Structure 1
Amino acid sequence: MKTPLKVSLTLLGISILSLPIAEFGWMVAQRPPQSNLEKTLFEGINYRREFQPLPRPVMLHIIAIDLTAPGIKALVTPGTTASDNRELKARTSSEFLQEFKLQVAVNANFFYPFAEESPWNYFPHSGDLVNAVGLAISNGNSYSSPESGWAALCLMADRAQIVANGKCPKGTMQAVAGNVMVVTNGKPLISQPGTADSEEAYSRTAIAIDRTGEKLWLILVDDKQWLYSEGVTLAELAQIAIRLGADAAVNLDGGGSTTLVVDTPAGATVLNSPAHTKIPMRSRPVANHLGFYARPVRSP
């Protein structure tokens, strides 16, 4: 027969073990619903959420930005100079948005070092020093060099350009890089080096622009969440961008880095379901980000 002490210890043990399960369940409950939604967020910035049940569940998040709209201004995470040549302090997209008082932000370049062993054993944490891979420019200051074979998004005052060689033209104020272009001249382009994951359904972050360079789309797809959202291949990502009207699109860092955050009256709000260390709604600290300033929507 168990003594009261043993019963109490057993119940305490069960309670402690159940806490991670309860926390995981709470995080799952915070995910955006599997439903379609369209909304104007700011002047010149619209948001669309799409749920696609086939060929696998996919949650798609699209931000459309009119770069010519009054008040629209881009910002890439500024680089830093450190004694070990690390360029950036890792931040989550929410931390980036709040620190620079932006209205919209997403993750950007691939980066290193990176490790993800378990929910409690990973690198980087916020504040750790890391490096971006490929070109990175913030406010006209280039702090990460182009990577051979990698493409870059180049942002001037009111227009954008995606360059396959990763080298932006003179006058570029902000720039981020991705491992491969997925659309060029309005057609899919995925048969390039650096696309080993092209056949794998995966979390994606991509940037697309129209032929004029005046309209830009941020495209994010969630993954690693069975029956909720299971990602897309690069070929499927290309078709999504083309459907939007893209002339060019580049694939940025994805996986657990994929995060879309916007400014709301309640503060920084994540619109997708990131899965850092495979935990839904947990945001990953990453090297750099692409954000936008915008004005509130004018009342009718």
Structure 2
Amino acid sequence: MLNKYKMVWAMTLAYALLIGCKKDEAAAQAPVTLKSPLTQRLLDSAGVMAQVFSDTLFEVSPGIKETDIHYLSREGYSMRAFILEVDVNHPNILLQAGTPYNATAYAMQTVPDIAKYMEKPDYRVMAAVNADFFNTSTGEPRGIYVKDGKVLKTTWANARSATFIGVLKNGKPYIGDRDDFVAKQNDLEDALGGGPMLVRNNQILTQTDLSVEPRTGVGMNEQGKMYFIVVDGRSFYYSNGCTITQLGQMLKACGSTIAVNVDGGGSSTFMIKHPLADVWQVRNRPSDGTNRAVGNAWMIISR
């Protein structure tokens, strides 16, 4: 009799599991109503998404929108991406190089701590991402470095340090390569180095680095929109990372006609001033398990 009850219980459990699996499968296959136009662009043209599980869209502050996407990659892996769309034509928006302790000396701080040293009552840090690669012992950036109109570093550590993101003295953002820096350095208010160029003249560039990692990238178009993207990685069930080619495909799909890769891995940090609470929130999951101290960051300021 006991064996009979065990058999009935096992059959019931197996049936429940089967029904549960079918429900999960049906839910995974059910169409999702996309909330963000950026998600639709990525799904249509980036070539990296097989399916979108969910997305969110909200305004961080006037001129700054955030899109978060949970998707299945073409390779069959779970992925999370976080995107800031920033209207740099907005009169209250300013892009500024963030440095540890808001100083020019080399050092390291987490992105939220860098924001604390830059924030003023009429000068609010609304969002930020990590920026250039750096020496993990000293905080010295691998690429060039300009802050408050002062050119502090003009050398590049290696071939990978090939680009920069800057703000001209007229307030306009600028992305270029080493040759562009030579031509523009005296016109720059702020500038931080970057890695490989991903998109130029609206064309995706060929890359030799095929590694899959957490990534941070920055792009812009000619209409005054900037795109800051972080793709999480190194966590199989949560998010697995991407190549820099895929990062370029995503930035181009967003609308970038020029885009660069910046520091990634455990440095990848995507932070906002949350619109529902006056606190800074790191929205992604840095792969170190905690916020890494970095050499510099890009701050989106509301004045």
Instruction: Tell me if both proteins adopt one fold, taking TM over 0.5 as the criterion.
Output: yes
The residue that corresponds to 2:201 in the other structure is: 185
Whether the aligned pair in 2 keeps the contact of 1:180 and 1:190 (CA below 8 Å) is no
Tell me by how many angstroms 1:179 deviates: 1.6
> What code does the residue aligned with 1:61 have?
F
Pairwise mapping of residues 198-217 of structure 1 onto structure 2 (< 5 A)? Answer: 198-212=209-223, 214-217=224-227
Cα distance in 2 between the residues matched to 1:164 and 1:46: 28
- Whether 1:98 and 2:116 are equivalent positions in the alignment is yes
Whether the aligned pair in 1 keeps the contact of 2:60 and 2:273 (CA below 8 Å) is no
2:188 aligns to what SS in structure 1? coil
- Whether 1:145 and 2:164 are equivalent positions in the alignment is no
Q: Count residues with an aligned counterpart.
A: 234
Larger radius of gyration: 2
Tell me by how many angstroms 1:245 deviates: 1.0
The residue that corresponds to 1:88 in the other structure is: 106
**Residues 103, 272 of structure 1: alpha-carbon distance in 2 compared, 3 angstrom cutoff:** same
> What code does the residue aligned with 1:208 have?
G
Tell me by how many angstroms 1:106 deviates: 1.0
The residue that corresponds to 2:302 in the other structure is: 294
Tell me by how many angstroms 1:79 deviates: 7.4
Tell me by how many angstroms 1:41 deviates: 0.6
Cα distance in 1 between the residues matched to 2:297 and 2:252: 24
Cα distance in 2 between the residues matched to 1:294 and 1:251: 25
- Whether 1:69 and 2:90 are equivalent positions in the alignment is yes
Tell me by how many angstroms 1:93 deviates: 0.5
Structure-1-length-normalised TM-score: 0.73
Structure-2-length-normalised TM-score: 0.72
Whether the aligned pair in 1 keeps the contact of 2:96 and 2:167 (CA below 8 Å) is no
Cα distance in 2 between the residues matched to 1:41 and 1:57: 26
Whether the aligned pair in 2 keeps the contact of 1:133 and 1:177 (CA below 8 Å) is yes
Q: What RMSD in Å do the two structures reach over aligned CA positions? A: 2.1
Equivalent of 1:48, from 53, 59, 67? 67
Equivalent of 2:177, from 164, 186, 189? 164
Which ranges in structure 2 are unaligned for 5 or more consecutive residues? 1-52, 120-124
Whether the aligned pair in 1 keeps the contact of 2:95 and 2:173 (CA below 8 Å) is no
Whether the aligned pair in 1 keeps the contact of 2:221 and 2:257 (CA below 8 Å) is yes
Cα distance in 1 between the residues matched to 2:218 and 2:287: 20
Tell me by how many angstroms 1:35 deviates: 3.3
2:129 aligns to what SS in structure 1? strand
Cα distance in 1 between the residues matched to 2:284 and 2:155: 29
The residue that corresponds to 1:132 in the other structure is: 141
Cα distance in 2 between the residues matched to 1:79 and 1:236: 30
The residue that corresponds to 2:270 in the other structure is: 260
> What code does the residue aligned with 1:254 have?
G
Tell me by how many angstroms 1:78 deviates: 4.2
Q: What are the superposed Cα offsets for residues 76-127 of structure 1, whole Å, 9 maximum, x if unpaired?
A: 13479x9xxx94221001111122121111111100135xxxxxxxxxxxxx
Equivalent of 1:227, from 227, 237, 244? 237
> What code does the residue aligned with 2:95 have?
A
Cα distance in 2 between the residues matched to 1:222 and 1:251: 14
Q: Percent identity?
A: 23
Whether the aligned pair in 1 keeps the contact of 2:100 and 2:295 (CA below 8 Å) is no
2:54 aligns to what SS in structure 1? coil
Whether the aligned pair in 2 keeps the contact of 1:190 and 1:234 (CA below 8 Å) is no
Which ranges in structure 1 are unaligned for 5 or more consecutive residues? 1-33, 115-128, 296-300
